Amino acid sequence: MNLQRLFSPKNIVVYGGQWSDYVVDQCQKLGFPGNLWRIHPSREDCFRDLSELPGVPDSAFLGVNRELTLSALKDLCLHGLGGAVLFASGFGEVEDGTAFQEELDNIAGDLPFIGPNCYGFINFFDRVALWPDQVVGHHKDRGVAIISQSGTISITLMAQHRSLPVGYVISVGNQQRLAAEDLIKFCAEDERVSAIGLYLEGIRNVSKFMEAVEQARVRQKPIALIKVGKSEKGKKIAMTHTGALTGSEALHDALFDRLGVARCEDLSTLVETLKLLHVCGPLPHRKIFLMGASGGDIAMTADLSKGLDLELPPPSDEIKKKIQPNVGERVVIDNPLDFQTATWFELPRMRKMFESVLESGYSMNSLMLDPPDENESDTKTFDDVIELFLEESRLTQSNAGILSSLPESFSKRIREQAMQAGVVPQQGLPEALRSLHHASESGKLETGIEAQTTVKRKGFQKVQDF
């Protein structure tokens, strides 16, 4: 199924009233370079019907009720449409929607469409927003893809204050035609996509999901997700929301673990994991190094690391000898490292310390610090240390991050400075540590579809188990 006309259209047609106003406005805001046509039976600035259009639409947004959706889609299919977003609810997720769902399938034929009961998508790469709400962001040359069964979760992930570069936002709704696994494959084929993030309430086709994840792995597109339904209430809400059957969580955990898909605990952890995967990719091993000038931060880090699949081995004796003169004899060289404050104003010594650590072979090196509010404080000393660390990270070509205990401690300026330097701004100690765990787990995934399909033979034979 070719999805290029749907996601990268030259001509867009929009049906509907107030909700659809957003689609037009946000496409214009993003700078969509193609033709944007509007159909409405009574508005003066719109075409009355499809016959008045000056060309064939590649992609359509249908922001009308389910009855009008079926009528409009029938005409559009006859007109040569390339793909559609169906905003209306009232199909398979409700009791009286089965007949409408069957009619939709018959009308659409083999047309690719997203929904129904969904927000649509934003393609920041090509400046397309078939999205009936505000769009937060701008054009990207490279970024992560977000695929979600919740429109609101999609908006939350798009609008986060963590400098995660987002290239695609796709709200899948009921997944009647295009399911998450189809969209994983599509995003994996896009060279501009660095990683894929999922919010799932259920998996429609386990075999296709496994194939899609394997395709993403082959194309070096790591995946992190949230799968809801661990609680009985969560399962009921998911069923009401999109009609998803959530299934056995133990089976899902085993499946994700075998496929090397990072199952995140919450949205903060998902964002931090995707950000880490965007910058560094899956970590090659679990050995990480954490350092900071605060004994309190380091103690909390040691405690919070417990229970995570991370290794914090001390530096080798050779590296210790290089670090010691630059931090003072009182400092105990360990991991995590509390290098105290003796070198805080001694930038040449701090540079040598950073260089020694960054060349030690750890899969990730994180510097802990929480700068004060730059609007109310003088942050020069923090800025100097951060700039020094970013420079040494670039020179050594090492995986590196600056890590704040509180997620709000890094201003947008600091976050973007780090991202531009290829250093991860890790925001919030618990979620940052969990993201390191998930990225290292992604790095150890089994390779080859044959190895992965053994999961199916060990207990995933029945799709209905999910």
> Would residue 7 count as lying in a domain?
no
Provide the pairing of β-strand 193-200 with 337-338.
unpaired
Whose CA is closest to 174, among 93, 73, 85? 93
Distance from C-alpha of 281 to C-alpha of 445, rounded to nearest angstrom: 13
pLDDT of 268: 98
> pLDDT of 76-125, one tens digit each?
999 999 999 999 999 988 888 999 999 999 999 999 999 999 999 999 99
Which parts of the chain have pLDDT scores under 70? 230-247, 444-466
Place of tokens 């994700």: 256
DSSP notation for 329-359 = TTS---SSEE--STTTT-HHHHHHHHHHHHT
Look at residues 251, 21, 234 and name the one whose alpha carbon lies nearest to residue 129: 21
The residue type at 431: E
Q: What is the largest CA-CA distance in the chain?
A: 82
In a domain, 33, yes or no: no
Residue 257: which of 216, 210, 204, 219 has the closest Cα?
Answer: 210
Q: Do 164 and 412 contact (CB within 8 A), yes or no?
A: no
Structural contact between residues 53 and 45, judged by C-beta atoms closer than 8 angstroms: no
Number of structural domains, the chain? 1
**In CATH, what number is assigned to the domain containing residue 362?**
3.40.50.261
Q: Does 312 map to a domain?
A: yes
For residue 185, being part of any structural domain is answered with no
In a domain, 358, yes or no: yes
Q: What pLDDT is stored for residue 442 in this prediction?
A: 87
Tens digit of pLDDT for each residue in 174-196?
Answer: 999 999 999 999 999 999 999 99
Confirm whether 144 is domain-assigned. no
Q: Which domain holds residue 300?
A: 283-443
pLDDT at res. 66: 95
Distance CA 367, CA 292 (A): 6
pLDDT reported for residue 464: 32
Asked if residues 172 and 101 have their Cβ atoms less than 8 Å apart, the reply is no
The pTM for the full model equals 0.91
92 belongs to a structural domain: no
Give the closest residue to 404 by CA, choosing from 372, 375, 436, 374.
372
Phi/psi for 5 (5° steps) reads: -65, -35
DSSP type of residue 97: G
Asked, for residue 252, whether it belongs to a domain, the answer is no
* Contact indicator for 326, 348 with CB cutoff of 8 Å: no
